[in-house]
Amino acid sequence: MKYMKLRSFYPFVKGYKRSFTDRLINLRSEHTHTELQYTDRYGGISSSATMRNGADHFRLRDINYTEHPERWHTIHIPVTADQEQKIFEMSCHMADQNPNSVYDAITHGYLEGDWYGRDALKYDKIGVVACNILPMRIIRSRDKYVWCTEGCAMALQAAFPDLLGKYKPDDLTPDLGHKVIGEYFE
């Protein structure tokens, strides 16, 4: 058994200047972003939906978490090879990437930048505001759109269908996702 990691970004550390988006999300959540990091079987790459680096989609990316470890709160997720493969394949599907092509890029060391295709799920800016920032739910998540914590939860549900209990992926702010997923793997 190996351990994947759910990484939740905590912007309240010395030296980090919060963005406008961080400040909006902080109205309801101390954490402002969620990443799902794979084990060394998949090169330790991460997947999530983001607006950073111009991605504006669900994507796969190699992230250096050792540069500022104090900014990331981590949950360890025990997975078998089969469970991790299901999660990886779901992430590739959401990023509109062929899992075999991504795996080849990882094993040959040429996975650089953001990996997503034309039909990748788009970053749900409206959903983030309407479902995560405002105190009431105006709309539910939209098809073909996803925000970070929602996408990470959807990928994990490929191997752990009962992961969220009474919640749905689009119920999750970064804080609530960190709490619910953390409690599941305690």
- The span from the CA of 149 to the CA of 154, in Å, is 9
Tokens read off for 124: 């749900």
What confidence tier does 143 reach under pLDDT thresholds 50, 70, 90?
confident
Please report, for the chain, the start and end positions of each structural domain, with discontinuous segments joined by +.
2-184
CB 45 within 8 A of CB 111: yes
Q: Which two tokens stand for residue 151?
A: 């996408």
The confidence band for 7, taking pLDDT boundaries of 50, 70 and 90, is: very high
**CB–CB of 57/145 below 8 Å?**
no
Q: Which long-range CB contacts under 8 A does 140-146 form with residues at least 24 apart?
A: 140/170, 141/169, 141/170, 145/121, 146/49, 146/58, 146/94, 146/121, 146/122
Euclidean distance between CA atoms 37 and 136, whole angstroms: 31
The residue that leads in pLDDT, 47 or 131, is: 47
160 or 16: which leads in pLDDT? 160
Judged against a pLDDT cut of 90, whether residue 35 lies above it is answered with: yes
Least confident of 49-63, 64-78, 89-103, 126-140: 126-140
Given a cut of 60, whether residue 137 has pLDDT beyond it is no
Q: What is the pLDDT of residue 83?
A: 98
pLDDT of 139 higher than 60: no
Question: What are phi and psi for residue 106, nearest 5 degrees?
Answer: -65, -50
The model's pLDDT over 54-82, given as tens digits with 9 standing for 90+, comes to: 778 999 999 999 989 999 999 999 999 99
pLDDT confidence tier of residue 179, bands split at 50, 70 and 90: very high
For the chain, the average pLDDT equals 90
Q: Is the pLDDT reported for residue 133 higher than 90?
A: no
